[in-house]
Structures are given as C-alpha cells and as structure tokens.
C-alpha cells in the first residue's frame, strides 16, 4: 500500500500531487495517460521496483487529475507539460529517465524537448513509451468528432477505462494541434524504447513506428507485444516494462 501523496504548492496554479523517493539516478519519472493518475498498476509497480532497487523515482498527477487540484476541463496539453517540468525542477537533480503511457508518451516527448532546450541533452538518460500517443488530436478523432469539439466546445465519450466519460475540450484539442510532432524530425539523442501491444484498439501500433522514424536518436527500439492491448498491464507486460527501464538505467553512456 502506497503512502498518501505529497503536494507541490505553486503560485497561481493548482497544487500537484506526487510521490518521490530518493535514490541512485537517473530519476525515473512516470507520466500517466489521459484521465489517468499515479495509482495505476504500471506506475505503482515501477515505483515499488525502484524503491526495492534503491532507485530514484517520481510519480505525479497532472492538474485536474487524481489527487491534484484544479478542474480537468480547464487544462491543456501545454499546462500538463508545465506540471511535469515544475515537479522535475522541484524534486529532481541530475538526469531523468521519462516513462510515458499513452497520452503520457506525448507529454514525455514534449517534456524531453523542453528539458533539452533548457538544460542540454545530457539531462535525458532515456525515454520509454508505452503505447505512446503523440499527435492524438490529429489521428485519434473522426472529422465528425473534431467538428463537435470545435462547435460545441467539448466531446464526451464513454470509455472502457473509467466509470467516468472521457471529455475532450476545445482548449485541449487546440493545444494538441499546436504541439504535433510526427510530421517532422524530433531532435532527441538519448536511447528510446517504445513498447506497444499488437492488439491495441486505441493507439495503432503504427504510431510507435512513425515515432521511431521521426526521432533523430540512433538508439531507438520498438517492441510489439503479441496479444497486448492498449493497457499493457498484464503481469508479463509490467515485467517487460521494468526490464526495459532496468536495462536503460544500466546501459553505458
């Protein structure tokens, strides 16, 4: 059982819930998916493994999600990227290894690019995407759904992943469109590992292949998991995630 989260107090922005353990670096930073939080199976398993191995790890809830303050419908992709950077600045010294699940994989890339621009490429020890979903606002909606978002201000959809419907606001969709990455080179030089279920009905595996092609790093590997769905949360999937992170952490520079 995890202890209650701590909170980062910020001026003019919602308080952010997080869990952080100190240890050997690089610090593992886990980014959950859309309308998800740090209580999920992948996040908690990674945190427990890091604690057992004496590794530094940071979990977080974006503003408007989980135990963080703020209204979900008032947040944008840019806001959530700012949340990640604020917590890294507050809790992490030295390199980070960012793990992003689904929409968290898009945020992983945006945060990585911001860290590279500000601190240089050595701030990144590696990236691990789990069904990473960059540019979701471009390929994840039908033209009819995009029209609803633009005309009505929000799209509300039932989802098998939550008892609450997914809400995509015009603010979030516009922020996503302004931060698309797959149509140009993504200047990331660190090692990148992309895990993707072959039976993912939400994020096509082709997205990870497109992402691998766009990344400028010469050390990018895509692992397609037979029988894996979008969650990739079976025991074997989580073991693969932990093994992938462990190998990256110990990989020589």
Active site residues: 102, 200, 230
Q: Find out whether the peptide bond into 26 is cis, omega within 30 degrees of 0.
A: yes
Among all chains, which residue has been given the structure tokens 């701030």?
Answer: 123
Residue 181: Cβ within 10 Å count: 17
Residue 234 near residue 205, CB atoms below 8 Å:
no
Residue 43: Cβ within 10 Å count: 24
């Amino acid at each position: 059982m995890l202890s209650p989260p701590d909170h980062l107090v910020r001026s003019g922005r919602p308080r952010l819930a997080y869990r952080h353990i100190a240890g050997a670096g690089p610090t593992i930073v886990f980014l959950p998916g859309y309308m998800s939080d740090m209580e999920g199976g992948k996040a908690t398993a990674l945190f427990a493994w890091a604690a057992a191995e004496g590794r530094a790890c940071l979990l977080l809830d974006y503003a408007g999600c989980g135990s963080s303050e703020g209204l979900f419908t008032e947040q944008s992709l840019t806001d959530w990227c700012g949340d990640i950077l604020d917590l890294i600045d507050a809790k992490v010294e030295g390199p980070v290894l960012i793990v992003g699940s689904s929409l968290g994989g898009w945020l992983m890339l945006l945060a990585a690019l911001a860290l590279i621009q500000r601190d240089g490429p050595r701030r990144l020890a590696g990236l691990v995407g789990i069904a990473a979903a960059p540019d979701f606002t471009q390929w994840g909606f039908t033209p009819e759904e995009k029209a609803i978002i633009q005309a009505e201000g929000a799209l509300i959809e039932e989802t098998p992943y939550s008892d609450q419907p997914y809400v995509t606001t015009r603010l979030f969709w516009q922020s996503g469109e302004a931060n698309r990455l797959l149509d140009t080179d993504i200047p990331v030089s660190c090692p990148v590992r992309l895990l993707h279920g072959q039976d993912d009905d939400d994020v096509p595996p082709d997205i990870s292949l497109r992402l691998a092609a766009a990344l400028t790093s010469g050390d990018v590997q895509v692992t397609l998991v037979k029988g894996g769905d979008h969650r990739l949360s079976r025991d074997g999937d989580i073991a693969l995630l932990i093994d992938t992170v462990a190998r990256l952490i110990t990989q020589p520079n």
